[in-house]
Structure formats: C-alpha cells, structure tokens
C-alpha cells in the first residue's frame, strides 16, 4: 500500500473510531442529560458541524441540484424518522449496557435490507441473507433477559426500534441522491435536532447545565460530523467498498470503548452474541466488496474513465451516519456516503 492509501486507511479507521464514541459517551452523558434533550443536542451539534464543514470544505465542490417541492415529502419523512430514532436510542441506552447498544446498532443492516426488499423489490444476495440471519440471531440473543422465563429487555427493544426507524429513513432517502447532499445533511441535522428539542420541551425536559450542552454538541460533532468528514477523505482514495469494510469495525470499537469506560462484566450471553455478530458483519462486508468489483468487461479496448452512480449492494452501520443521504444501492460521493466516484482502467466491449 502506498503512502496515500495508508493515510486513507487511517482516515477510515479514524471515522469508525469517532463514531464508536457515540454509545459509551452518550450513555455517560445520559446521567445528567435527559434522553430527548440528548438526541436534540447530538443532532444539532452534527448539523452545525457539517454546516461549517460545508462552508469551509464542500461548498465549492458540491454542484448537485437543490431540493424542490417535489422532494419535500421525502425530506419531511427523513426528518421525522431522525427525530424518533435517536430519542428511541437514548431511551434504550438508559436501560441497556453501552456494549450491547453498540452491537445492536448493526440491526440497521437488517432493517434497511428488508424494507428495501418490501418497498422497492431490491434483490438481496445470498451472502447478505446470511448476514441478515446472523445479525438477527445475535440481536435476539442480546435482547433476551437472562432468567428462568424468556423475556426481552426493554432497552434492547427500544434500540432495535431505533434501528428500524433508521432503516426506513435510509430507504426514504433513496429518491434524493441526485440532489445537493450537503444541503440534505444540514437540513436533517438542524431540523431533526430542533424537532427533538421540541419533543423534549413537550414532555417536560429542560436544558442541562451549559457544560453538558457543550459536551453533547461536541460529541455529536465528533461522532457524526467529523466521522463523516474523515469517511469522505478515506473514500476518495480507497473507494466505497474498502472504506465501508474498514468502517465496519465501528460497532466493535464501540464495545471496546464501552468496556473501558464502564468496566461492565461481559456475560457468556454477550460473548456468544458478539461472535455471531462478527460473523454476520464478515458476510455483509464480503458481499459489499464482491459486488463492488465483479463487473467484468470484454477485452476489446482499454481506457481510464470515471463511474458516476456505480450500482452495488451495501450495508449500513452507522449509519453513522443517520445524517446521510443515498439512493439505495447507487453510488456517488457525498457527505457520509455509501457512494463513491472512482477512476480506474478496465476494458469495454465496443
């Protein structure tokens, strides 16, 4: 790997590490910040941060068309889902361990894929079906409360509900990938944050101390905003498949960070779920990479060119993202993206 590739790989892991801070630090802040208020501050921090990054870094390079009235229903749907999902996640984090929450985030892969199949008849590969099955089994194991009778943890169920909301949100954004992505991200961050803030006030929550407001917004900026920034930097040199593969370590880094912070005892139930989740993530990653690179061409002539909108199947971890827009399986470079523009040599049939 050359120097550029090494730096890009570092950016990808840095993006994953920054997002991995979300579960443990959010859980710690929930001791002093109420759930809906926490969700609001995280998204406002991310929205403001992405807005600043856009002004400094992306304003001159983002040339896609702006949103029109026709796209407003999709934007509204994304905002509403991005209000519900983080509040559910924060409520779940209050009741579940940060380690379990970090792993359960992978259920978004399942939710996104199944909803895409049901609503848009998207095909799911054999490997992705295996990944879905394994991640679902792991999620069920994490959700079961140990005891003589089988019962489910309320915290885990709330986190799974958040993942389902984000899975639907991922599919809502499929119609907007040709639009100005930075505009979409900023709208989602700011308005979802404001929406969560309204919910917080309606249910009687209030602002925490100023230092906790700053800490929560800084976490949102780092775990979502800066994570997105470094993800993009990595994707430019590595492409979408490799970047998403490296980024898939985020949930497992989250487990490590959570354990280092809280020192929770890792029960056998968690260890079994972790092993199954690792296997499921492996199938998801290899499915992404294989589908990204299996387009073949007849050897008649060769030239270098750029692919815009390369189609592939991919998994959302996130996503991270939860402040991103994409068109199902289509790819184009944008602020936290599953979409890349790559230049490479290959052959075409004349």
Q: Which residues of 66-95 are buried (b: 16+ CB within 10 A; e: fewer)?
A: ebeeebeebbebbbbbbbbbbbbbbbbbbe
β-strand partners of 152: 144
Q: Are 286 and 127 in contact (CB under 8 A)?
A: yes
Token pair for residue 97?
A: 């361990």
Token pair for residue 308?
A: 């815009």
Token pair for residue 249?
A: 């370590």
Rounded CA gap, 299 and 183, in Å? 41
Q: Which residues of 33-56 are buried (b: 16+ CB within 10 A; e: fewer)?
A: bbbbbbbbbbbbbbbbbbbebbee
The pLDDT of residue 56: 81
β-strand partners of 342: 307
The pLDDT of residue 58: 65
Token pair for residue 335?
A: 């602020």
The pLDDT of residue 346: 47
Alpha helices in the chain (DSSP H): 3-20, 22-29, 35-53, 72-95, 98-104, 107-120, 126-143, 154-172, 181-202, 210-220, 227-247, 250-262, 268-293
What are the residues whose beta carbons fall under 8 Å from the beta carbon of 291, sequence distance 6 or more? 125, 312, 313
Q: Which residues of 306-331 are buried (b: 16+ CB within 10 A; e: fewer)?
A: ebeebebbbbbbbbbbbbbbbbbbbb
Task: Dump pLDDT digits (tens) for 26-36.
Answer: 999 999 999 99
Q: At what angle do helices 227-247 and 268-293 cross, to 10 degrees?
A: 90
What are the C-alpha distances in Å from 73 to residues 76, 81, 269? Answer: 5, 12, 42
Rounded CA gap, 30 and 42, in Å? 12
Rounded CA gap, 277 and 104, in Å? 9
Give DSSP secondary structure letters for 252-321: HHHHHHHHHHH-----HHHHHHHHHHHHHHHHHHHHHHHHHH-----TTEEEEEEESS-B--------GG
The pLDDT of residue 289: 58
Task: Dump pLDDT digits (tens) for 183-221.
Answer: 777 888 899 999 999 999 999 999 999 999 999 999 999
Q: Which residues of the chain have pLDDT under 50?
A: 293-321, 324-350
The pLDDT of residue 52: 87
The pLDDT of residue 106: 92
**Please, how many CA atoms are within 13 Å of residue 145, restricted to the half-sphere of its CB?**
13
Let me know if 31 is exposed, middle or buried by CB neighbors in 10 A (0-12, 13-18, 19+).
exposed
pTM: 0.79
The pLDDT of residue 301: 39
The pLDDT of residue 233: 79
β-strand partners of 344: 305
Q: Are 36 and 92 in contact (CB under 8 A)?
A: no
The pLDDT of residue 215: 97
Domain chopping of the chain, boundaries: 14-348
Q: What is the DSSP letter of 336?
A: S
Secondary structure class of 145 (helix, strand, coil): strand
Rounded CA gap, 206 and 37, in Å? 7
How many angstroms from the chain centroid is the CA of residue 211?
Answer: 27
């Amino acid at each position: 790997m050359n120097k550029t590739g090494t730096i890009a790989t570092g950016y990808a892991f840095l993006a994953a590490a920054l997002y991995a801070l979300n579960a443990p630090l959010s859980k710690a802040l929930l001791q002093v910040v109420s759930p809906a208020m926490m969700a609001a501050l995280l998204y406002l921090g991310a929205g403001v941060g992405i807005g600043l990054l856009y002004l400094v870094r992306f304003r001159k390079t983002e040339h896609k068309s702006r949103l029109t009235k026709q796209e407003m229903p999709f934007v509204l749907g994304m905002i509403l889902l991005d209000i519900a999902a983080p509040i559910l996640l924060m409520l779940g984090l209050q009741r579940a361990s940060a380690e379990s929450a970090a792993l359960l985030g992978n259920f978004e892969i399942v939710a996104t894929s199944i909803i895409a199949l049901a609503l848009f008849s998207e095909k799911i590969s054999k490997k992705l079906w295996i990944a879905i099955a394994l991640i679902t089994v792991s999620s069920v194991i994490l959700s079961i409360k140990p005891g003589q009778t089988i019962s489910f943890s309320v915290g885990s169920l709330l986190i799974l509900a958040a993942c389902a909301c984000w899975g639907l949100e991922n599919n809502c954004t499929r119609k907007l990938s040709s639009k100005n992505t930075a505009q979409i991200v900023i709208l989602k961050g700011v308005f979802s944050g404001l929406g969560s803030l309204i919910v917080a006030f309606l249910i009687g929550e209030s602002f925490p101390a100023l230092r906790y407001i700053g800490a929560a917004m800084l976490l949102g900026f780092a775990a979502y905003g800066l994570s997105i920034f470094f993800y993009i930097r990595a994707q430019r040199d590595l492409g979408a498949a490799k970047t998403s593969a490296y980024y898939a370590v985020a949930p497992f880094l989250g487990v490590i960070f959570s354990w280092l912070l809280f020192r929770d005892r890792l029960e056998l139930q968690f260890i079994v779920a972790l092993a199954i989740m690792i296997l499921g993530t492996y199938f998801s990653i290899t499915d992404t990479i294989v589908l990204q690179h299996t387009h073949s061409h007849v050897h008649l002539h060769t030239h270098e060119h750029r692919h815009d909108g390369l189609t592939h199947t991919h998994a959302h971890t996130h996503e991270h993202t939860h402040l991103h827009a994409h068109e199902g399986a289509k790819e184009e470079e944008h602020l936290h993206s599953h979409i890349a523009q790559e230049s490479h040599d290959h052959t075409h049939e004349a």
